[in-house]
Amino acid sequence: MSAVVGTGSSPGDGAEVAVVATGEVTFTPPLHVDQLFGHLAATAVPGVEGWADGALLRALSLPSGPGVVRAHLPAEGAVSLRLDLLAGAAADLQHAADAVRWWLDLDADPAVADEVLAGDADLAPLVAAAPGRRVPRSLSAAETAVRAVLGQQVSTAAARTHTARLVAGHGEPLPTPVAGLTHLFPSPARLAALVAEELALPRSRQQTLLGLVAALGDGLLDLPPGRPTPSLTAEHLTALRALPGVGPWTASTVALRGLGDDDAFLPSDLGALAAARSLGLAQDARGLERRSADWSPVRGYALQHLWGTLPHAVNRLPG
């Protein structure tokens, strides 16, 4: 049934932004918020995403038009979080809640992944220290692919900068800026106007992104929100991997964040490798790939635990 209760207009509490409608989005505890909210805050793309006053902000396309949602950090021990619709139509609150449930992986039952991973002697201490880790998702597979290509072999800050330029140049402007958000993330149709000269990227990366954009315009990753069937996922990922410059890291990122494949894994990821070496799990990508077989079918959650051992901004809430 609906995850939202108490819809209706209400004043913005403490913020100079009117709230169109508000509600509660439920989840199954525990919920490890530091990495989930910390990751989405650290990777937030200016113009389309943000973090303010203990809440995540996101501009998104809703049935009645563009909207902006604000997902509040839940209190310790809570089984729901507050969601505000700051722009858009109140009738779209349920659609916004569904998007946020996916974005924050709130449909996950943490006991399922934690039970599997706690059975591994090396991961058991990590699970005990941080139960209820989730996978930060992306609001569409196409968006995930674009952001993954822009994030290839660069820092989190550089990826945000590159993506923000893309949003400013090709995203659909909001009717009125809200809480610092100005645009929707560009659709494949709007990205069709992208040219290499706009991209402050190495030439090979420019060609990879333009090739991806062309494929997205032809329907690659044109999938409904949520988890598509395994056969449909495999079909699209095979086509994605066939594009020049799109390797296993990018395709697996799309599978994990954009398509909801809980078993997707990134053995060549530099952070995952650093964590694996420090924990004595593996010394290289091939070894980590073999070791990860013990964590199937929830290797994506194992990845969150590996990343969680690193001193990186994605693992903590903004000060």
One-letter amino acid at 207 equals Q
User: Do 7 and 59 have their domain in common?
Assistant: yes
Structure tokens at 13: 């509490």
Within a 13 Å sphere around the CA of 304, how many CA atoms are in the beta-carbon half?
Answer: 31
Residue 58: per-residue pLDDT: 98
Residue 10: per-residue pLDDT: 40
Whether residue 313 is contained in a domain is answered as no
pLDDT band at 17 (very low <50, low <70, confident <90, very high): confident
Is the confidence at residue 277, as pLDDT, over 60?
yes
Whether residue 251 is contained in a domain is answered as yes
Whether residue 284 is contained in a domain is answered as no
Residue 260: per-residue pLDDT: 92
Whether residue 296 is contained in a domain is answered as no
Whether residue 190 is contained in a domain is answered as yes
Percent of the chain predicted with pLDDT > 70: 94
User: Do 146 and 102 have their domain in common?
Assistant: no
Distance between CA 62 and CA 86 in Å, rounded? 12
Is the confidence at residue 16, as pLDDT, over 70?
no
Domain end point (choices 258, 282, 314)? 258
User: Do 90 and 148 have their domain in common?
Assistant: no
Whether residue 184 is contained in a domain is answered as yes
User: Do 149 and 214 have their domain in common?
Assistant: yes
User: Do 161 and 241 have their domain in common?
Assistant: yes
Distance between CA 55 and CA 307 in Å, rounded? 22
One-letter amino acid at 159 equals A
Whether residue 188 is contained in a domain is answered as yes
pLDDT band at 230 (very low <50, low <70, confident <90, very high): confident
User: Do 148 and 96 have their domain in common?
Assistant: no
pLDDT band at 240 (very low <50, low <70, confident <90, very high): very high
Structure tokens at 234: 């495999």
User: Do 203 and 145 have their domain in common?
Assistant: yes
What H or E segment, with its residue span, contains residue 195? none
User: Do 205 and 252 have their domain in common?
Assistant: yes
Looking at residue 73, which CATH number applies to its domain? 3.30.310.20
- Here the contacts of 201-207 (C-beta below 8 Å, separation 24 or greater) are 201/150, 201/162, 204/245, 205/149, 205/152, 205/245, 207/244, 207/245
- Reported as a single tens digit per residue, the pLDDT across 244-257 is 999 999 999 999 99
For tokens 């932004």, what's the residue?
17
* Number of structural domains found in the chain: 2
Residue 11: per-residue pLDDT: 38
User: Do 152 and 101 have their domain in common?
Assistant: no
Whether residue 273 is contained in a domain is answered as no
Of the candidates 145, 160, 126, 156, the one whose C-alpha atom is nearest the C-alpha of residue 50 is 160
The range of the structural domain enclosing residue 243 comes to: 141-258
Domain end point (choices 258, 279, 313)? 258
User: Do 145 and 253 have their domain in common?
Assistant: yes
Looking at residue 245, which CATH number applies to its domain? 1.10.340.30
Structure tokens at 134: 């989730």
User: Do 165 and 253 have their domain in common?
Assistant: yes
Distance between CA 36 and CA 127 in Å, rounded? 15
Cβ contact 144:236 at 8 Å: no
User: Do 79 and 154 have their domain in common?
Assistant: no
- Here the contacts of 2-8 (C-beta below 8 Å, separation 24 or greater) are 2/94, 2/97, 3/94, 3/97, 3/98, 3/101, 4/83, 4/93, 4/94, 4/97, 7/90, 7/93, 8/90
Domain end point (choices 241, 258, 275)? 258
Residue 237: per-residue pLDDT: 93
Q: What number is the average pLDDT over the span 184-202?
A: 94
- Reported as a single tens digit per residue, the pLDDT across 164-187 is 999 999 999 999 999 999 999 999
Backbone angles phi, psi at 214, to 5 degrees: -60, -45
Residue 104: per-residue pLDDT: 98
